[in-house]
Amino acid sequence: MSTPNPTESLDSERERTRTGLSKAALKQDFLDNLFYIQGRFREVATPHDLYMAAAFTTRDRLLKHWVESAQVFKTSHARTVCYLSAEYLLGPHLACNLVNLGITEAAREAGEELGLDLDAILEEEEEPGLGNGGLGRLAACFMESLSTCRIPAIGYGIRYEFGIFDQAIEDGWQVEKTDNWLRNGNPWEIPRPKIRFSVGYGGYTESYRDDTGRSRVCWRPAQVINGMAYDTPILGYGTANANLLRLWKAEAPTSFDFQAFNTGDYYGAVYANIQAETISKVLYPNDEPEAGKELRLKQQYFFVSCSMQDMIRLHLNTVGPLESFADKFVAQLNDTHPALAVAELMRLLLDEHVMSWEQSWDITHRTFCYTNHTLLPEALETWSVSLFERLLPRHLEIVYEINRRFLDEVRMRFLGDEARVWRMSLIAEGGERRIRMANLAVVGSRAVNGVAELHSELVKATLFKDFAELWPERFHNVTNGVTPRRFMVVANPRLAQLITKTCGHDDWILDLERVRELEAHVDDAGLLEDWRAVKRAAKQDLATWMQQAAGVRLDPESLFDVQAKRFHEYKRQHLKVLHIIRCYQRIKQGQSQDLVPRAFIFGGKAAPGYFMAKLIIKLINAVGEVVNNDPQVNGWIRVAFMPDFNVKNGQRLYPAADLSEQISLAGKEASGTGNMKFSMNGALTIGTLDGANVEIREAVGAENFFLFGMTAEEALQRQMSGYRPWEFYQSDAELKSDIDLINSGLFSHGDTQLFRPLTDNLVNHDPFMVLADYRAYLDCQKTVSETYRDTPRWTRMSILNVARIGRFSSDRAIREYAEHIWKVTPKRIEPAHHSQS
């Protein structure tokens, strides 16, 4: 799939001018957009006006690729991937689009000639935070790689009016602020008022006989709302292929209920409108489902129904009869949030397109594939049958029928094994009856995958053991990846330039395996020096930013030790805190000989209702307050909390990290993707054998990775044989003194109770076995410090981490999906050769 960037063939200035990619064309269009769209002259434009004009100038250039891609995909009936995801954590668009268009330098120079700084313009962009964390960001990386790999694709999701909250830190606590990302307009989306679908809720179903005498069902919903499409083009790198991200906004079917209006109920009519719009109003800020939230179920059904109707519309408009639907489309369920699509496609085929059950099921089952992202039992979605019935009565009937047929199959295979039937049922019985969305997703899909080798094995061995016994061929692994365009080229341009200079080409951006060519230079003194300078500059940038954003001074000479990810007990940010407290105590006791100066940097949000996670954030800031104000330890350690960790801020963090903390309890982190982003930027990892850490370690070499802690198997064994955390607390004097120091009130102005819920939980329950891994973690951190002191060795390890990270490009992941799961081939779009105005 390696082909030159379309812009490379356009080397003559005339050609670039003709296609709008020259500096002169950019300048002219920028000024035009500033005038005609923003209504400003250069002299009076605000920074936001400048950003908008730059965004429109860039978008114009995307559109050409996009319109052409759509045209080619349509006329060639190209097999298309539909990625169904309730979340897309997109991050800022502008810088990535410039890179993918190949016009970053031209834009920078055009800006300079106008007296503008491109970096300042990029800073203006408010990112669409339509996701919580890993799962949403993965969807965004996959959209970019789908285009880069030239796979025809549509991403379907929800256009939340409010994305993930903005995090502020006040008095050390997380405070949530609404994310009004659309406030100043979104230049990247194109509203499609003609692409609207009705979505029903509630009501009842009726049976009737059709003309042929066959029994049919009709659903009479009590409420009907509309979903309207908003499209965002997603361009690939080094290609003219551009795919479509189609997000649905909920609205009332008509702006007024005229009957209510005529009878004088103006308020009632407007209220109905508002109620409908609530459905796409806000992203649920949890990375695990909140039980029983009716609005959440409504959201899921809303976007899934619009998307399935849209796919059917596209199929009927282009290919024709629905019999071939599963040949035209493959739909990937990103976790169980869109699993209702299975029931919805069945309903549309059965009720609206009057197909038989057998044919509808055959199509449905051949259409869907499902990715699981977690083994944590509390994160597995279930919906109460009563709520489901109230909102989606027809879908409940369909789920029951799918279940009836499925369980017959199970009974036939495993005669007399009713316990198995009970476990595999789509309905959990005993207590309140609930629908198991994961089971629905597995039954309704022809392929199921986990997101790292270890995770996929555990999926088969634990979560879906019964299903893997019934359908072993259905289970796959596709290890996650991340896009090197955003997380290397855009986030870390200095490093990108150094790699390009060292390798003598920039083909690695498209074929990340080729960063391996760095290995040949790993002993060049010049490279080592340049490598250190690049890292040092990134650390300085972060230090400058952190000083301004968090008021903490960081010394770029110190080791930047970073943990950035959602806050969750299984990710064990509190294990890191114990390490900080240990360092603090050692320095105070004059035992700093094993230490190196370190900046401990955290970033991440906690779900607003997750008390323990929020308390851990408070503890970090509380420890920071003491440590950072203690002159005795100041030259040694600093603690900094980056407020509002999001994609944009992540891009500041990854390049500056020396050490990447991936310290989840083994068996709990499905994959992790931050681990890849850090490693790509030359950070060394300290980590457990969990998720993709296992494969990263294999790839970069065990000698270039700091491994510690129990394996998943050992953790399970220990858990089963009765884990008693207090024994660790009692028997390890340092551990005890670290926990006791928290309880002493030192970090809470004398309040000895504030952190009790956390410390008591650790000592008495410790569900994620922090205490069991504490000693191993400290020992490993000692090795980290020793290694860091040997600068050439550390630098060499850093280079090798980058050189061997190729496998973790999301391009590789997408190719594996395409080949093994989706059975779809690339479709090349030729660069357009007509001029644009």
Q: Which residues are catalytic?
A: 373, 565-566, 571, 673, 677
Is residue 157 close enough to count as binding ligand AZC by CB under 6 A? no
User: What is the smallest separation between the CB atom of 374 and ligand AZC, expressed in angstroms?
Assistant: 5
Which of the ranges 503-511, 609-617, 629-637, 670-678 carries the binding residues for ligand AZC, by CB under 6 A? 670-678
Count CB atoms within 10 A of the CB of residue 223.
16
The residue range among 188-196, 508-516, 667-675, 676-684 that interacts with ligand AZC, by the rule CB under 6 A, is 667-675
| Burial of 389: CB neighbours in 10 Å, binned 0-12, 13-18, 19+ | middle
Distance CA 315, CA 310 (A): 8
Residue least distant from ligand AZC (Cβ): 134
**8 Å CB contact between 713 and 566:** no
Of the residues 189, 257, 335, 695, which one makes contact with ligand AZC according to CB under 6 A: 335
Residue 287 touching ligand AZC (CB under 6 A) = yes
| Residue recorded with tokens 């280079």 | 799
Query: What is the nearest approach in angstroms of ligand AZC to the Cβ of residue 781?
Result: 23
**Binding footprint of ligand AZC, residue count (CB under 6 A):** 18
Among 509, 670, 684, 829, binds ligand AZC (CB under 6 A): 670
Shortest spacing between CB 134 and ligand AZC, in angstroms? 3
Residue selected from 374, 781, 798, 809 as contacting ligand AZC according to rule CB under 6 A: 374
Contact of 361 with 416, CB cutoff 8 Å: no
Q: What one-character-per-residue DSSP string does 118-137 give? A: HHHHHHTPPP-EES-SHHHH
364 binds ligand AZC (CB under 6 A): no
Name which of residues 685 to 744 contact ligand AZC (CB under 6 A): 691
- Decide whether 482 or 542 has the Cβ nearer to ligand AZC: 482
Q: Per CB under 6 A, does 145 bind ligand AZC?
A: no
Q: How far is CA 550 from the centre of its chain?
A: 25
132 part of the interface to ligand AZC, by CB under 6 A:
yes
Consecutive H or E run containing 628: helix 611-628
373 lines the binding site for ligand AZC (CB under 6 A): yes
Nearest distance, CB of residue 69 and ligand AZC, angstroms: 27
138 is an interface residue for ligand AZC by CB under 6 A = yes
Judged by CB under 6 A, the stretch of 105-113, 624-632, 669-677, 819-827 that binds ligand AZC is 669-677
Q: Based on C-alpha coordinates, what's the Rg of the chain?
A: 27
Q: Using CA atoms, how far apart are residues 449 and 829, in angstroms rounded to an integer?
A: 30
Q: Which is nearer to ligand AZC, 161 or 669 (CB)?
A: 669
Contact 22, 105 (CB under 8 A): no
The residue type of 66 is W
* Nearest distance, CB of residue 802 and ligand AZC, angstroms: 20
Q: Measured from the CB atom, is 62 or 138 closer to ligand AZC? A: 138
In 643-732, which residue ranges form alpha helices assigned H by DSSP? 647-653, 674-680, 693-700, 712-720, 725-731
Looking at beta carbons only, is 335 or 658 nearer to ligand AZC?
A: 335
650 is a contact residue toward ligand AZC (CB under 6 A): no
Taking contact as CB under 6 A, which single stretch among the options 15-23, 251-259, 462-470, 663-671 is the one that binds ligand AZC?
A: 663-671
Cβ atoms of residues 580 and 564 within 8 Å: no
* Minimum CB distance to ligand AZC, residue 565 (Å): 9
Rule CB under 6 A: is residue 673 a binding residue for ligand AZC?
yes
Give the number of other Cβ atoms within 10 Å of residue 276's Cβ: 21
Q: Figure out which of the listed residues 135, 587, 642, 699 binds ligand AZC, where binding follows CB under 6 A.
A: 135
Q: What is the DSSP string of 348-372?
A: IIIIIS---HHHHHHHHHHHEEEE-
Task: Give 223's Cβ-side CA count (13 Å radius).
Answer: 17
- Binding flag, residue 410, ligand AZC (CB under 6 A): no
> Angle of helix 573-588 relative to helix 770-789, nearest 10 degrees?
60
672 binds ligand AZC (CB under 6 A): yes
DSSP helix/strand/coil, 766? coil
Coil, helix or strand at residue 604: coil
Choose one: 131-139, 219-227, 514-522, 743-751; the region binding ligand AZC (CB under 6 A).
131-139
State which residue, 338 or 672, has the beta carbon closest to ligand AZC: 672
Nearest to 684, CA basis, from 790, 795, 555, 566: 795
Q: Nearer Cβ to ligand AZC, position 420 or 614?
A: 614
Query: Hey, what's the torsion of the CAs at 145, 149, 153, 155, to 10 degrees?
Result: 0
**Footprint (CB under 6 A) of ligand AZC, residues 34-93:** none
d(CA 683, CA 689): 17
Are 467 and 424 a contacting pair, CB within 8 Å?
Answer: yes
For ligand AZC, which is the closer residue by CB, 288 or 732? 288
CA nearest 827: which of 325, 102, 77? Answer: 77
Q: Is 502 in the site for ligand AZC (CB under 6 A)?
A: no
Contacts to ligand AZC by CB under 6 A: 132-135, 138, 287-288, 335, 373-374, 451, 480, 669-673, 691
